[in-house]
Amino acid sequence: MTDPQLMQLAQEARQKSYSPYSHFRVGAALLAKSGKVYTGCNIENASYSPTNCAERTAFFKAVSEGERAFEALAIVGGREGETAEFCAPCGVCRQVIAEFCPKDFRILLGAPGKFQAYTLEQLLPFSFTNESL
């Protein structure tokens, strides 16, 4: 699985976004060390706070299937009707990523054909993790 392929899967997952309130559509594709890819989209709620981000949907699907080790995460997001340009993961999602991934875990942001790779350490420096306890 190449980085562009993972971005493409995130783009396809974005099409499943359930976002009738924000109209902001996000897709994620999480590559596990097993080789399997788990996709996710944001899932909103009329009560707002139960909303789940695309990244956490992907992680929770993977972890609930027994995965514990991950290679990379691709994220594609943007306003409905617009071509996604860049969507950074929210703070809560960064914390969930930190629960399962090392500092050098790769996070791909942008859109298929135009994206940049960051490490978890770059996006969440000085993090509180299981090593802190």
Q: How far apart are CA 51 and CA 65, in angstroms?
A: 21
> How many residues sit close enough to ligand THU to count as binding (CB under 6 A)?
15
Looking only at residues 93 through 112 of this chain, which bind ligand THU when binding is defined by CB under 6 A?
93
55 catalytic residue (yes or no): yes
Phi, psi of 112 (to 5 degrees): -55, 130
CB of residue 133 to ligand THU, shortest distance in Å: 26
With beta carbons less than 8 A apart as the criterion, state whether 75 and 108 touch.
yes
Looking only at residues 18 through 57 of this chain, which bind ligand THU when binding is defined by CB under 6 A?
19, 22, 24, 26, 42, 44, 51, 53-55
- Which of 12, 44, 55, 85 is catalytic? The answer is 55
Judged by beta carbon, residue 8 or residue 51, the one nearer ligand THU is 51
Judged by beta carbon, residue 31 or residue 87, the one nearer ligand THU is 87
Q: How far apart are CA 52 and CA 93, in angstroms?
A: 9
Q: How far apart are CA 80 and CA 58, in angstroms?
A: 20
Active site residues: 55
